[in-house]
A and B are shown apart, each in its own frame.
Chain A
Amino acid sequence: MNLITEKVIQRLVYEGLLFSNEIQGRKRPIKLEEVLMAGRDEPRTLEVLPALLLHRPTAIRDLKKSLKNHPEIDGFIRQMKLGKVTRTKFLGLEAADCLKHAQHFEHCLRETNNTRKSQVFNLRISPEEFAILQKLTRTLNQKGLSETVRYLIRETEQKLSSETT
């Protein structure tokens, strides 16, 4: 599997749009062109693309600019936004399947927003640990300390879960 396909799958697994038997989820920036390239190896990446474009557009870099080069994708997304999809195919895939995934993804995001609000905690850590956390934030290219803690929780949980099985 080439590196671009792997990167795209990592992001789609991270977003909760795909399962993979080999690749773990990672929050990596991706481009529309890269998703289209990955679609040649793994068409299921294209099947969930409308869900990502509609409900997590910030996951894709320079989206507006890229959509100008792909009017067929732009047109399909516009139809979805209006709830008036007339096409039966999206990039050679069943449009109905793409719609089903997008509706489910929207539902999940709504549920997450309603039921899983993040909570504020006061943590007692030493200045050395704080410095390590700051260093990790830079190394892992995270937005802030909270994002780093969330990343570390997810990674450790996944690691422990695969060790115990």
Chain B
Amino acid sequence: MGKLFHNLLEKVFNDLNAFIEEYDAECDEQGGIRIANQDIKIVGQAALLLADLPFPLLGTMDLDVINKIPFIIQKKLNELLLKNRMYLDPDGIKAWMPDNTHYLPLFNLSRLQVSFADPASVVLSKARCNRMKDRVIVENYLQHFPAFKNELEKL
């Protein structure tokens, strides 16, 4: 099932990539400012779903992107996500992530590089927020990756 989520995002980001290519082609023909190549960094529950973790995980339908992306890309991405009953969480950018977070490559497209935060950093971020809904995830992660306890103690 984690693969289904991966496939869904693959389609969404391929469509977004095609949109940027078309937009730029139009700018070249008619004049206008081209869209620069974009980096998209996924965090939150979506990053955990992409990480193929060895325990059951649930995610709501929002996608958290931590880096700033131009408004036109946000709008198009949200529109593409909506077709799949998902949405771009406007609060994604406010998320706290550890300084040493690694972003693992997900899709390397002609105009888009999409990556997702490593699961340990995401769980650490959830542990710091200390929300009731995330406690089960932190416990499950500790159970499967006992070395994570050292990271938690540093918080």
**Are B85 and A165 in contact, CB atoms less than 8 angstroms apart?**
no
A104 at the interface (CB under 8 A from B): yes
**Contact indicator A162/B132 (Cβ below 8 Å):** no
Known: A43-B133, A107-B82. A19 touches B3 (CB 8 A): no
Cβ proximity bits A16-49 to B, threshold 8 Å, 1 near / 0 not: 1111111110000000000000000111111110
Scoring A residues 87 to 117 as 1 if CB is less than 8 Å from chain B, else 0, what string do you get?
A: 0000011100100110011011001000000
Interface residues of B in 130-145 (CB under 8 A from A): 131-133, 135-136
Contact size class for A? Answer: 20 to 34
Which residues of chain B are within 8 angstroms of A16 by Cβ–Cβ distance? 61, 85
Using CB atoms, name the residue of chain A closest to B3.
Answer: A165
Q: Which of B52, B56, B58, B87 has the most CB of A within 10 A?
A: B58
Proximity string of chain B (60-93) to chain A, C-beta cutoff 8 Å, 1 when within and 0 when not: 1110000000000000000000100101010000
Contact between A43 and B132, CB atoms less than 8 A apart: yes
| A residues less than 8 Å from B27 (CB atoms) | none
Chain A binder among B4-12, B18-26, B97-105? B4-12
**Contact yes or no, B7 A19, CB < 8 A:** no
A165 contact set on B, CB distance < 8 A: 3, 6-7
Given A19-B49, A162-B4, does the pair A44, B58 have CB atoms closer than 8 Å?
A: yes
Instruction: Enumerate chain A residues within 8 angstroms of B62, measured Cβ to Cβ.
Output: 100-101, 104
Is A1's beta carbon under 8 Å from chain B? yes
CB neighbours (8 Å) of A24 from chain B are 1
Q: Is the CB of B7 within 8 A of A92?
A: no
Quick check: is B35 within 8 A (CB to CB) of the other chain?
A: no
Asked if B109 CB lies within 8 Å of chain A CBs, one says no
B contact set with A: CB distance below 8 Å: 1-7, 49, 52-53, 56-62, 82, 85, 87, 89, 131-133, 135-136
* Residues of chain A lying within 8 A (CB to CB) of residue B2: 21-22
Contacts A24-B1, A94-B131; A19 near B136 (Cβ below 8 A): no
How far is the CB of A152 from the nearest CB of chain B, in Å?
18
Specify which chain A residues have a CB less than 8 angstroms from the CB of B3 in the assembled complex.
161-162, 165
Q: How far is the CA of A93 from the CA of B6 in the complex (A)?
A: 28
- Find chain B residues with CB under 8 A from A17 CB: 60-61
Q: Complex: how many Å from CA A45 to CA B58?
A: 9
A-B contact pairs, 15 of them (CB 8 A): A9-B58, A18-B59, A19-B61, A20-B1, A20-B56, A21-B56, A22-B1, A22-B2, A45-B58, A48-B60, A93-B132, A100-B89, A108-B85, A161-B7, A165-B3
Say whether A141 faces chain B, with CB atoms less than 8 Å apart: no
Bound-state Cα–Cα, A48 to B59, Å: 10
Known: A47-B60, A161-B4. 9 other contacts (CB 8 A): A18-B59, A18-B61, A19-B59, A21-B1, A21-B5, A21-B52, A21-B56, A22-B1, A93-B132
